[in-house]
Amino acid sequence: MWFSRVDERAAKRSVSFSLLLISLLSGVLAVAGFAPFYLWPLPLISLAMLFGLLTRTRSVRAGFLIGLAWGLGFFLTGVSWVYVSLSVYGGMPMALAALATFLFCALLALFPALVGALQASWRVSPGLRLLLLIPLGWGVAEWVRGWLFTGFPWLAIGYSQVPASPLAGYAPLVGVYGVSFLLALAAALLAWGATLRGPLAQRVWAGVAVLALGVGGQALRGIDWTTPDGATTSVALLQGNIPQDMKWKPEKTHATLEIYARMAAASPAKLIVLPETALPLFESDLPDFYRNGLVTLGQKNGGDILTGLPTGSINGTYYNSVLSLGSAPSQRYHKVHLVPFGEYIPLKALWGWVIRVLHIPLSDFARGDPNQTPLAIGGQRVAANICYEDVFGEEIIRQLPAASVLVNVSNLAWFGDSFAPWQHAQMSQMRALETGRMMLRATNTGLTAIIDEKGRILASLPPFTTGSLSGEIQGYAGSTPYVRWGNAGVLMVWGVLGIGLLLPGLKRRP
């Protein structure tokens, strides 16, 4: 037998503090696999440790607590920047912000906790439990977290493998959730092979399987799923570095407009991109001379300027938008996936008090049309997305394969000098790899970057600096398998595996 048999009385006892501590610390360890550290083997080791702990018990309660401990270590470390946005910039009292951050991370920790409980309750063979049920449960849990209550897919474990891990090669086929599943499968194989009482052949086969996953992914990294389309385009990404507590003060508006006008005028690039809400005025309040000046600059360079600003009216419907000005007729994109409590208040009758506690300007945006088309600007077909939107891969591909390049504009000043800007940039790297398109990121305080179609950062600006990032980009045509299928491909595979688990699981349940 590949693991030591646990008697039923031991299985019913509470899990020991030492096991919970090990699980919690292994969750902390996994965060180092994400940006800015990029130590991609560590999440593999972390999950192998977690899965090894889970398979030592048949107690549903123990499995739940072990998974919960891992989730608390992981999310309290990796998503600690929520406190910064609530307390430092949202104006929430420190104690209340700390409590809200803990409760939010505890809610996220329920997903690995439920995986731990499920694997303990499902009466299938030990091999199926470790090598199939746990990886499958992990992948499905991350996918559900990506859409439940509008979704929070931040730190899906598959992101940690971009751009250097061999498993990143699977991203153009199965997307981030498929990579998460494969990473969990590799971790389960390591846990299976590391069982001291298991036979030597078991360890050998586990090693061979992990090696095969890596070799397969590395081979896929060499495939060019898309092809260059048209001539290259010169670009400039402007990082204004406007402090968040100054951004919306009326007395600072003139200085902000002047900073971006000066940086734009200094660039000869055909496509100049400003960050999310770079111009802190409604489009209707933008002075004519300023707007005309940007149009003239774009025409002078033979291209366009793309800037973020709110459109509509504070007294009616208004949008978080990007607007193009220059050679082409003016075009715009309205943000579709809004941030709950940051950009809109769900169930206002119940949660309206949040507006009174948090000092968030413009917190009731309207949603844009999900079927907006790419912007024909700067010689490219631009799939624009705003801030949080590029963490949803299946939403990004709505504008593909028509778009030739991806552009994300963000304002991450809300999160200060934390992991958030780096983690967000890594998710943009995944979007580039999934779609086979270059990604441009123009941000207020960082991380402003040019990312190639393989998910590699070609150039970036240091965070919290004012500057312009210049470079050349290539548009791409064609579709990766992920662009064609989205998450449907991996969901169908999971469905088949789930049916395979369901039948023996039902049969063996007492």
3-state secondary structure of 398: helix
CA distances to 85, 316, 332, 340, 358 from 352, in Å: 18, 18, 30, 12, 11
Active site annotation includes 387 = yes
The candidate with the shortest Cα–Cα distance to 273, out of 407, 107, 177, 425, is 407
Residue 335 bears catalytic tag: yes
> How far is Cα 103 from Cα 375, in angstroms, rounded to an integer?
40
Q: Which residue among the candidates 105, 142, 270, 276 is catalytic per the annotation?
A: 276
Judge whether 258 counts as a catalytic residue: no
Cβ proximity of 428 and 408 under 8 Å = yes
422: tokens are 């780096």
CB within 8 Å of 158: residues ≥ 6 apart: 142, 167, 171, 175, 176, 177, 178, 179, 180, 181, 182, 183, 430
The rounded distance, in Å, linking the Cα atoms of 484 and 478 is 10
Give dist(CA 39, CA 419) in Å, integer: 14
Separation CA 388–CA 296 (nearest Å): 31
Catalytic residue, from 387, 389, 394, 434: name it.
387
Q: Of 247, 270, 335, 454, which residue is the catalytic one? A: 335
Which one, of 107, 102, 95, 49, lies nearest residue 76 by Cα? 102
Which residues participate in catalysis according to the annotation? 276, 335, 387
